[in-house]
Amino acid sequence: MRRQHAARRAGEFPPPAEPLPIPVVDSHTHLDITVTEPGAPGDVAEFVALAAAAGVDRLVQVGTDVESSRWSAALAAEHGAVVATVALHPNEAPRLADLDEALREIEALAGQDRVRGIGETGMDTFRTGDAGRAAQEESFRAHIAIAKRYAKPLVIHDRDAHADVLRILDEEGAPQTVVLHCFSGDAEFAAECVRRGYLLSFAGTVTFTSATALRAAAQITPIKQILVETDAPYLTPMPYRGRPNASYLIPLTVRGLAEATGADLDELCAAISATGDRVFGPW
């Protein structure tokens, strides 16, 4: 599904960004897709090395279906700079012939030491219509239960579904740690998430000219509840929007966040690094 959308991007991978003064974590990337992009500068090891040179020395590789979750877990077992999360993407759940069996596969991976989170799961009313909503919600509730059983953070995909995400988390009882991947809400929604103790992970979208509401959300988020991510190869920060993304471009997002929030760059990097270790570490 996501590989099909990848064909819509154009252009070469951007040049390396100016390194950050303190290394941070890319809390959400898809190396399995990134390495298949046309013009990719190398294999996984090369992308990891490029990220480290830019001050992004830890990566969270995210699963979106059974196959990619297995791949993510195996990669994390081999690369010291990478940990994994495993899950069924919310748009994947309605397409499965046997959702229960797929969830059993995810749970079987969840106990591995290098699997450090359950996600990305959640709700998406942008791509999944009414017919798929029940399966999507069933899958989300099951992932919440898996995260609680294994005491691992829950990584949430939320697209046009803010109210449903909060409702289901409130009904089920959220795990101790919840990460809103690629946070896309406004300041009002951010305040609700912050009040619940959730972490907000900001992607390159926070640098987009049109993202005024998103920057307002970042401004009211305590620095200790902020993470950053690429969602690579998607959501490339400015000035390279529309080109393939990779973890070595995180510095553009971090500097955009610092500018939007008025935070000192060193302080912001140190906070993101510490939060990444607290949520997903130790590496």
Binding residues, by number, are 28, 30, 120, 157, 181, 231
What is the rounded distance in angstroms from the CA atom of residue 48 to the CA atom of residue 143? Answer: 28
> Which residues lie across from 60 on neighbouring strands?
83
| Joined tokens for residue 234 | 């998607």
The amino acid occupying position 258 is A
Answer whether 59's CB lies under 8 Å from 82's CB: yes
Burial 254-274 (b: 16+ CB within 10 A, else e): bbbbbebbebebeebbbbbbb
Rounded to 10 degrees, the C-alpha dihedral 230/236/239/240 comes to: 130
Residues annotated within a binding site for a divalent metal cation: 28, 30, 120, 157, 181, 231
The amino acid occupying position 279 is V
What is the rounded distance in angstroms from the CA atom of residue 50 to the CA atom of residue 200? Answer: 25
Measured in whole angstroms, how far is the alpha carbon of residue 53 from the centre of its chain?
21
